[in-house]
């Protein structure tokens, strides 16, 4: 099975479980929790049922749950959530959504200018999606 087929299979599974894509790089769970990319979302729903290997074509790395937890912990440690009276985990999810949108926008910009839109090294949980047709 190719990487593309594997990701397509993950997307079918996510949709069957009630997940929806908000953007190509941001997926929403049935409860509204946001995840960067279909692979991160798929790993979340499968984390208790099976061991999941690295994202196709990528090295093993810590994904969204760890990054979301680290952001929420930092927000809480500095009481950054107090000004808006918003729980730290909601702000962490929002910031991950912003990061995913930013990454998508920079990829689109690079594609627009005819440059390679792939970063030199993907950042775990960043929502990076390999651009189609650009190498």
Highest mean pLDDT among 18-27, 46-55, 115-124: 18-27
Q: Is the model's pLDDT at 131 over the cut of 70?
A: no
Tell me the per-residue pLDDT of 59-73, one tens digit each, with 9 for 90 and over: 333 455 678 888 988
In the block, which residue shows the tokens 């997307």? 11
In a domain, 80, yes or no: yes
Task: Give the integer Cα–Cα distance in Å for 95 and 19.
Answer: 20
The predicted pLDDT at position 53 comes to: 44
SS3 60: coil
Give the angle 103-106-111 at the CA atoms, nearest 5°: 125
The predicted pLDDT at position 95 comes to: 92
Model confidence at 37, in pLDDT bands (50, 70, 90)? Answer: confident
Domain count, the chain: 1
In a domain, 90, yes or no: yes
In a domain, 17, yes or no: yes
In a domain, 131, yes or no: no
Q: Taking residues 87-114, report their average pLDDT.
A: 88
In a domain, 35, yes or no: yes
In a domain, 117, yes or no: no
Work out the mean pLDDT of the chain and round it to a whole number.
74
Q: Is the model's pLDDT at 2 over the cut of 50?
A: yes
Model confidence at 56, in pLDDT bands (50, 70, 90)? Answer: very low
Model confidence at 15, in pLDDT bands (50, 70, 90)? Answer: confident
Backbone angles phi, psi at 27, to 5 degrees: -115, 145
Give the residue numbers spanning the domain of 97.
3-47+59-112
In a domain, 97, yes or no: yes
In a domain, 70, yes or no: yes
């Amino acid at each position: 099975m190719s990487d593309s087929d594997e990701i397509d299979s993950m997307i079918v599974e996510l949709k069957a479980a009630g997940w929806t894509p908000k953007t190509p790089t941001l997926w929403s769970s049935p409860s509204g929790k946001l995840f960067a990319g279909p692979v991160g979302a798929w790993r979340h729903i499968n984390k208790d049922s099976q061991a999941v290997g690295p994202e196709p074509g990528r090295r093993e790395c810590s994904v969204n749950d760890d990054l979301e937890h680290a952001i929420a912990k930092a927000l809480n440690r500095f009481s950054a959530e107090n000004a808006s009276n918003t729980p730290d985990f909601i702000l962490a999810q929002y910031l991950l959504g912003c990061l995913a949108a930013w990454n998508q926008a920079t990829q689109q910009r690079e594609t627009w200018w005819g440059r390679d839109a792939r970063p030199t090294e993907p950042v775990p949980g960043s929502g990076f999606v390999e651009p189609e047709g650009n190498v």
